[in-house]
Structure 1
């Protein structure tokens, strides 16, 4: 990553339907701190935390007041490489799309995945388009819009329509996030 890209990066939180976007790791860790968790659920959570597949994907928090994942957007032309800013094993990991399952997760390399941000009236938004307070946005990964999907009570984000029937009547709507910019270019984000 070039120095110019690092200097022009900005940090933001994402929300969907009032809930913060988090890593499943954050959601599971919070779940373990619940004193009313049953032994079976505790074991399921511990197994998920022990695997990257179970802990390293983006999802929605269980509660509105949970701490959102801080994301850092590094500009590349009119697209962005995105990293997670989270203490511990996921610090500085890139947000990418799993090539086989199509869900968004964190990885040690960007693997060529870039995100574009669009808002009403602007197809590929820059920081200047986003800086004036919270704004509704759509994310696209390598020009594929991001959708919210549910499977076995597990929420995750896909870079393809989760409609497996391929019938137009069941097409999903791309996720419409609220983006709240936390720090602009030249500013370091607070962890």
Structure 2
């Protein structure tokens, strides 16, 4: 099964993004816009995972989520990968996710724990990329100059929302892509009931 770990923002936050891009879709016909029902914030992409590893993976992800505190974040601004001038991916960014008032990493720390936990469960590709919290809005097959689009969305600022749950998502590819949350854990949850000793 093809899995990834994600945050699922509340409908109100997603509706603000939908409103902000509604008038821009027709201006950028070369982009393949991601359907709104698939919008999420990826913490870790796990790829193809053997079903036999699922139990250990769930224990590790629950542990990773419990080690961090829920945080308030908001969508803000926009950007593109690998750059706005030669882009394959257009995204809306996030604020309130880099560090707390003491400079400690917030979502980046959670993403790192999730990735490390998956690797300890025997899952993942072993490739570490710098975590850049975002929500993908559109893709294009050929590198495209999206500087005008990024600039037009640079002033976007959504309402704050609480990132309080980690979801293990399964993706179904094919003619119609869909995602399913197959497990979830509260960020900052209580692991006292767990029988697996924390040996990390």
User: What is the TM-score normalised by the length of structure 2?
Assistant: 0.28
Structure richer in helix, relative to its length: 2
Higher CA-based Rg: 2
How high is the TM-score relative to the length of structure 1? 0.29
